Every structure is written in C-alpha cells, then in structure tokens.
Structure 1
Amino acid sequence: MASNTVLASPVPSRARTTGLVVMLAIANLGLWLAVYAPALVTISIRIREVRPDDAVTVYGTVTAAGAVFALLGNPLFGRLSDRSRSRFGRRRPYFVGGMLAGTAAVGLVGIAESVPAIMAAWCAAQLAYNAAMAALMAVLADYVPPQQRGRVAGVTGVCNYAALAGSAYVAGFFASSTLLMFLAPALIGLVLVCAFAPVLREPANTGTREPIGVRDFLMTFWVNPVKNPDFAWAWLSRFFICLAWMTLLTYQSFLLINRFGFSNYTVADAVSLASLVLVAGILVGSAGGGYLSDRTGRRKIFIVVAALLAAVGFPAIAFAYDLSTFHIGVAVVGLGIGVHMAVDLALVTELLPDQSDAGKDLGVFNIANVLPQSVAPAFAAVLFATLGGQNFTALYLFAAAFAVVGAVPIAFIRRSR
C-alpha cells in the first residue's frame, strides 16, 4: 500500500511544462542511447569475438537473461520510487543512480573475456538502466496533463528511437576499440540524463512510510486483470506489438550479415543506415499519430493503424534480397512504431489503476515492453531449430502476425476511445 503521506506532484505552469518536456525528451534520448548501443550492436559484436562459432545462440541466451533482470527491475524500482523518501524527491535518485550504475556495468561488458562475465555484467546493466527508465516513465504521469500526453509521448518516443541511429553511429565511430564502443554511448547517455535532474523540481519528501510486507512486495509485479481489465488488455496489446518490433531490432545485424554479406566490422555502419531509415519513419508516424490522437481525443484506432503498417512492412523485409527493398520495409515498420509509441503510453496513463502508484503500475506495464526482449530471441532460436537454419523470411512473417494479434485486445478497452 502506498503511504498516505506521499506528496502530490505540483502542476507546473505552461512554460515550465514546455521546458520539462524538452529536457525529459533529451533524458530519454540519453537513456536509450546507452541501452540500445550494447543491446542492438555492440554485445552481438563482442559475442562474435568471444564465441564466433555459436554467436547467434549465445547472443539469444545473453539477451534473454538480461531481459529477465529488466523485467523485474522496472516495476521494482518504479515501486521504490513511488515510496521514496528523500530531500531529492521521489524520481531523481533513481534515474541518476541508475545511469551511474548502468555505465559502470556496461564498461565491464566491454572488457569481459568470457560469456558468463558478459552475461553477468549485462544483467547488472539492465537492472540499473531499468531503475532509470522506471523513474523517467513515471515523470510523464506525475507532471504532464492528460490532454498533452499524446504529443509528449510522441516526442519522447521519437527520442527513444532516434537513439537507435545515434547508438549505431557512436558505436561505429569507436569501432577500433571494443571498450569505447560500449563506454562512449553510456557516458553520453549519463550526461544527458543527469542534465534533466535540476530541471525536475520535485518537492522534498521526507515523511514516514508504511513498511512493505511480503505480499506487498509480490504485488509490485502485478496488477489484477479482473479488477482492471482495461489495463490488462492494453498490456496484452503492447506485449504482442512490441514482440513484433523487437524481432526486427534484435536480429537486424544478423540479417544484414547473413543475407547481405556484411562483416563484424562493417555491420555497424549498415545498422546505422537502417536505423536512420527507421527513425525517419518513426518521426513521421510519431508526430502525426501523437498530434491527431490528442486532437481527436482517440487512442485505440491509432494502435490498430500501427499494427496494419507493420503487417505491410514486415513482409517487405522478409522477402527483401536487396537493400532498397529492405529499407522500404524498415521505413514502413518505422511509421508503425512511431504511431504506436506516440499513442500507447498516452493510452495507458489514462488507464492506471492508482495514480499514487504510477511508478509501480507503469513498471508493470513496461514488462510488456521488456519481456519481448527475452521472448523474441527465444522464439527465433526455436524457429530456426525447427526449420533447420536461420530462416529470416519466416521470422519476419511471424513478426507481422504478432503485430496484427496485438491490435485485437484494443477492441476490448472501454475507458478510452
């Protein structure tokens, strides 16, 4: 139970809201730059250096293990930030501390010489970065008025995925040093997130709090779907749609190497170009989706549109044997990602069971974003084993199906249009 001494978040003026939104977007850019660089580029390269013979299998194992820690860390640290008592506020200690710890852990990944060491360091990094992520997500519910959340979620969503291109470019720039490929994006992310700390004017919160028991701790990872069906349907929708997105992102470098002939040393540049194409689609989809969603007061139809765009884009990727077709498919998927990320977060902030537990509940919701990071590699490993080879055509056709399935639960949500 949240203590009744928790201070309500003040409602900022329009000028302060604008400044807060800009710096929140920059903080999100920094956070995702630090996360995406290793998750999508540098860990796969490091694993191919350490275990070249079975890199795909090892990569799936390492990323799946890290995703478990991310899955646990997000709601846990969201709950802890809800209950935090500090003169620095509720959220600030977690996004600053999380980024500091994440930077140290990513540095260890860069110098690790064995798969177990890489896995342990990456799990620590995921736990730390998800502490920062949980706190930054809660700021949206704490300080941004509901009628502006579509546009704000759209802006922060663009920054999240702009980090895709940025992470690949930064990693590629430091390709001559494995350690710098890990540390440079992490240090840039640390600076950008810490720059948000003085902008967020949280009130000091030093009151008493109720002790948390075993049952309360376990409820950190749970929102009752019977009592909160709309939240549950939104969670299920996000899980399947994000599973589609993660299928593209986690195996993009392997596809480029397998099908288009890139090497360990040239794939970062290829991922950078594909990420730019993806981000271009996201910019259009996010800006248009967030604006139209706020303007019309509707959320659900835009998530359906995102899924339909994926159903077009993923088959183009699946059957692409030249880079132009591949990039067209990536751009269309990017449109879908942009529309989805602009509207989905705004939708769920309207469906939170308890505003005083926003950090915890958004952490539970973010499990649907994190869990696909584990499920996608596991599913791909099973699919490839079943088909007897790395069949990327089948993999991306399944990704299209996941996105379409993700649109179905939206029809059952009642508390939002």
Structure 2
Amino acid sequence: MEPDAMQMTPSVPAAPVAEGMSTRSTRERMPVLQVLAVLLAQLTISVALITPTTYSLAIWLQDTASASRDALLAAAIGGSSVASLLVGPLIGALSDRTTVRLGPRRTWLVSGLVAGSIGSIIMIGIPSPVALVLGWCIAAIGYGAANSMVMVYLSDRLPQRQRGKVLGVSTAVIYLGPVVGVLLAGAVATTPPLMFAIPSIAALLGGGVLILVMHDPPVEPSTTPLRVVEMLEGYWVHPRRSPRFAWVWWNRAIFFLGVAFMTLYSVYFLSTNIALDSAQIAATMSLGGVIGVAVSTLGGVTCGTLSDRSSSRLPFIVASTVLLALGLVVIATASSVPQYLVGNGINSFAIGVYSAVGQALQFDVIPGERRNGRYLAVLGLSNQLPQAIGPFVAAGVLAVFGRDYAAMYFTAAGLVLLSLITIVPLRHHLRIPSPTSEPATSVAHTKENA
C-alpha cells in the first residue's frame, strides 16, 4: 500500500455481497474433512513459523551471544520479515496464474514447505549468528508462503456465512501452535538443533495431509502472457478503486505493528522485569500459551460465529482493539508471574477475536476479480510490513528507554488504539447480508459439510 491511501475520502460506497468469491465458494459449505486438514496444516506450520520467533531464536542467542542478543534478534526476525515482505506478494500473484496439474495452491504449498525445510537445515548445520539469520530468512519465506497458501485456499472455498466460525477455530489452532512449539523447544533447549528440526518435521507432516486431500483443480491457462507489470501488481491495490480494502489494510497494519512490539521481547521482559531463568520462562510462556489457547478459542469461535450473524463485523474489531490495549498495560506494570498471565490472557482473548473476525472481514472486502492469491498477498503485507519494521523500531525504543521492556508494552498499547482511526470510514459500509440472500445448498452438501 502507498501513503496516498490515507487521503481517501471517508465516504465509502457499500460493497456487493461476497465479492471476489467464486460461485462455488458462495454457494457451498466447505467439507468437514478439508476443514480438519486445513486446521492440522495451520497448527503444524504455525509451530514451525512462530516458535522460533517467540522462543527458540531468543534462547539460542541468549546462550551464545548475550551481549548482542537484542541486535541479533532484531536482525533475524526483522530480516526474515523484510525477505517475506518482498517475496510473499510475488508468490501470491504467481499462484493465481499457476496452471500445473498439481493445482495452483497445492503447488506453492509444497514449494513453501520445501523451502522452509532447507532454511531449517541451514540453521541446524551451521551454528553461527550469520547462518542463523540467513537460514531463518529462508525458512520464514518458505513457511510464510505455505501458510499464505492455506489462507488463500480458505478464501477460495469458504462461503461468507461460514467464514467467522471456521476462522475462529483456525485462529485458536494457530494460537495453539506456538504453545506446542515452546513445549517441544523447551524440552530440548539443551540441544539447540532439535529446537528447529522438530517444528520443521511437524510442518512437513501436517502440510502433507492437506496436500493429499485439498480440492485444488488446475486453472485454465490465461489467454494473455504474464507480464512484469502484472507480477508487480501483487504488491499493490489502488486505494481509490478499492477503498474498503485499503482502510482494512491500514487497520491491520497499525494493529499488528503494536502486536509486533508486544511479542518480540517477551523472553527478555520475563528474564529482566520478573527475574525468571530460561526454564522458568519456558514454563511461564507454555502456561500462558495454554491459557491463551483456551481464551482465544472462546473469543475467536464465539465472536467469529456472532459476527457471521451480525449486520457488521466492525463492533467486534473495536472491542477487541480496546481490550488488547488494556491487556498490554496490565503486562507493562507486571512484577509477578500471575499478573503477567492475567495480561497475557486478556491479550489472547482480544487477539483471538480480532484475528477471527478480522480474517473474515478481509475475505469480505476482496474486490470482485477472482484473484484471491494476489489480494490476500497484499493484505498479508499489512501483517508482514509491521513485522519487518517493528523489530527495528522496537530496538530504537529500547535504546531511548535504556532496555526498559515495560516501555515496549506501553508503546504497543498506544499503537493498537491508534488503529481505531481507520474504522471511521468503514462504520456504515460493511454490512453482512442475511442468510436468505445466499443461494441454498443441496441436502447432500448440508450433511457432508462443516
């Protein structure tokens, strides 16, 4: 997105129902088997993609390069985010034009898992800070591509009235991934290679199940050749032509910049502000993760389903944003594990609601062309860009406040509240149609589907 998106008029016209979705996706519910396969793939890929950024990289650097751990962690996570930022939209655009018999989404899912495994092998085989940064950049690109293909597949298949419910469960499953990952990594923390090998194997197995069962028929070859300009369109959607899309993009970008601040230095906050050692940090983060899974499941599934039945998803976005800011303040003022866990629980509930409803909302605002890979890749930038710049901005904040990790959480609270300014132009223009406005499904599909 470009800065001139901020110049858009607040008067935004209403969107047509389920624009951008195929006729099949609008009409039929997604089968239970495919939903379960998607959830398994998301769980295992999130183990591989998120565990290193929340635990494994920080522990490895704390043990091997404690004096420069802040800068190296920022380089590893920030560098991988920049790399994903550059490559991700291109993959999304290319997936819309991939015509191999394997299917467009399946092809890029396989490619992403292979690339992620190669990056993990580099980190395991060459134990040095440079190799760690390089290997994680490759792994993050691969697992990020695999994760994005799962989301694009959902956007291809999910009807509007099933989105909130399925994406609510999806959010909870993604939240469970880091918990499982931290438990596994904490158990093998004395053997660093296993902290990266186990998540990689899990992603291959879970992603492999989805590869086998997904319904991803090949697309017809385009009558026009693929041009460089069309490839570059994967990085851009004109805000004046798609204003709802652009405002949702900015809302997510500002919100996730705050989340990037929140998650980056959790390990160091616990070790510095609450004086925990590595084993205690792993136990605390695992317990917080278990609590987080429970409350994010409650928030995501309940509010996601309610948003399907509501006339608008925006009230859920506003409420979850305010609640997240409150949870961040609770953590910033924490001097004990119980208070940290309370704040973490509030944050988990809020992020569960925002993620489930926000993902449904982003599916709702995809413009009318059937190029979901491209549009979701651009929306992915609203998450990847904050992850790319967040570590460097956060390092600057720490430099100003002298390694005061509590300041990170106060800053994050301010950022997530700032995201609410983007809601104003959308408040009257994102209505969800009643169930009667969607074509009826057949009895056979009703029995088969989730």
TM-score class, shorter: over 0.9
What is the alpha-carbon distance in structure 2 between the residues aligned to residue 331 and residue 269 of structure 1?
Answer: 15
Alignment of 1:21-36 (within 5 A): 21-36=35-50
Maintained 8 Å contact 1:239/1:371? yes
**Greater Cα shift, 193-202 or 272-281:** 272-281
Provide Cα deviations, 1:6-39, integer angstroms capped at 9, x if missing partner: x968559968522222221111111111101111
Alignment of 1:176-215 (within 5 A): 176-205=190-219, 207-208=221-222, 210-215=224-229
Normalised by the length of structure 2, the TM-score is 0.87
Q: Secondary structure at the match of 2:285?
A: helix
Q: Which residue of 1 aligns with 2:414?
A: 401
Provide Cα deviations, 1:200-221, integer angstroms capped at 9, x if missing partner: 1222336355332232222211
Maintained 8 Å contact 2:116/2:140? yes
What is the alpha-carbon distance in structure 1 between the residues aligned to residue 160 and residue 28 of structure 2?
Answer: 13
Using a 3 Å threshold, how does the CA distance of structure 1 residues 202 and 9 change in structure 2: closer, same or farther? farther
Using a 3 Å threshold, how does the CA distance of structure 1 residues 394 and 176 change in structure 2: closer, same or farther? closer
Q: Which residue of 1 aligns with 2:140?
A: 126
**Greater Cα shift, 97-106 or 141-150:** 97-106
Maintained 8 Å contact 2:101/2:218? yes
Q: Which residue of 2 aligns with 1:260?
A: 274
Q: Which residue of 1 aligns with 2:423?
A: 410
Provide Cα deviations, 1:214-271, integer angstroms capped at 9, x if missing partner: 3222221111112111111101111121122222222111111112222345432332
What is the alpha-carbon distance in structure 1 between the residues aligned to residue 238 and residue 25 of structure 2?
Answer: 29
Alignment of 1:272-311 (within 5 A): 272-311=286-325
Maintained 8 Å contact 1:75/1:134? no
Alignment of 1:107-126 (within 5 A): 107-126=121-140
Maintained 8 Å contact 2:268/2:405? no
Residue type matched to 1:91 in 2? R
- Aligned residue among 346, 361, 365 for 1:332: 346
The percent identity for this pair of structures is 28
- Aligned residue among 404, 412, 421 for 1:391: 404
- Aligned residue among 52, 59, 79 for 2:73: 59
What is the alpha-carbon distance in structure 2 between the residues aligned to residue 281 and residue 391 of structure 1?
Answer: 29
Residue type matched to 2:290 in 1? L
Q: Which residue of 2 aligns with 1:235?
A: 249
What is the alpha-carbon distance in structure 2 between the residues aligned to residue 105 and residue 341 of structure 1?
Answer: 28
Q: Secondary structure at the match of 1:86?
A: coil
Maintained 8 Å contact 2:51/2:181? yes
Q: Secondary structure at the match of 1:205?
A: coil
Q: State the 1:409 CA deviation.
A: 0.7
Maintained 8 Å contact 1:50/1:113? no
Q: Does 2:107 correspond to 1:93?
A: yes
For these two proteins, the number of residue pairs brought into alignment is 410
Q: Which residue of 1 aligns with 2:6?
A: none
- Aligned residue among 134, 141, 163 for 2:155: 141
What is the alpha-carbon distance in structure 2 between the residues aligned to residue 270 and residue 211 of structure 1?
Answer: 54
Using a 3 Å threshold, how does the CA distance of structure 1 residues 187 and 177 change in structure 2: closer, same or farther? same
Provide Cα deviations, 1:302-356, integer angstroms capped at 9, x if missing partner: 0001111012111100000011111101101111101101111111111112442
- Aligned residue among 216, 220, 237 for 1:223: 237
Q: Which residue of 2 aligns with 1:4?
A: none
Q: Which residue of 2 aligns with 1:168?
A: 182
What is the alpha-carbon distance in structure 2 between the residues aligned to residue 13 and residue 271 of structure 1?
Answer: 42
What is the alpha-carbon distance in structure 2 between the residues aligned to residue 78 and residue 326 of structure 1?
Answer: 38
Maintained 8 Å contact 1:75/1:220? yes
Q: Does 2:305 correspond to 1:316?
A: no
Residue type matched to 1:149 in 2? R
What is the alpha-carbon distance in structure 1 between the residues aligned to residue 394 and residue 216 of structure 2?
Answer: 43
Q: Which residue of 2 aligns with 1:71?
A: 85
Provide Cα deviations, 1:371-413, integer angstroms capped at 9, x if missing partner: 22222211221111112x1112221111111111112212212
Maintained 8 Å contact 2:26/2:159? no
Normalised by the length of structure 1, the TM-score is 0.93
Q: State the 1:188 CA deviation.
A: 0.9
What is the alpha-carbon distance in structure 2 between the residues aligned to residue 186 and residue 218 of structure 1?
Answer: 31
Maintained 8 Å contact 2:49/2:144? no
What is the alpha-carbon distance in structure 1 between the residues aligned to residue 66 and residue 224 of structure 2?
Answer: 52
Q: Secondary structure at the match of 2:367?
A: coil
What is the alpha-carbon distance in structure 1 between the residues aligned to residue 311 and residue 109 of structure 2?
Answer: 31
Q: Which residue of 2 aligns with 1:368?
A: 382
What is the alpha-carbon distance in structure 2 between the residues aligned to residue 210 and residue 134 of structure 1?
Answer: 26
Q: State the 1:292 CA deviation.
A: 0.8
Q: Does 2:51 correspond to 1:37?
A: yes
Gaps of 5+ in 2: 1-20, 432-450
Q: Secondary structure at the match of 1:198?
A: helix
What is the alpha-carbon distance in structure 1 between the residues aligned to residue 416 and residue 313 of structure 2?
Answer: 17
What is the alpha-carbon distance in structure 2 between the residues aligned to residue 15 and residue 309 of structure 1?
Answer: 32
Maintained 8 Å contact 2:330/2:342? yes
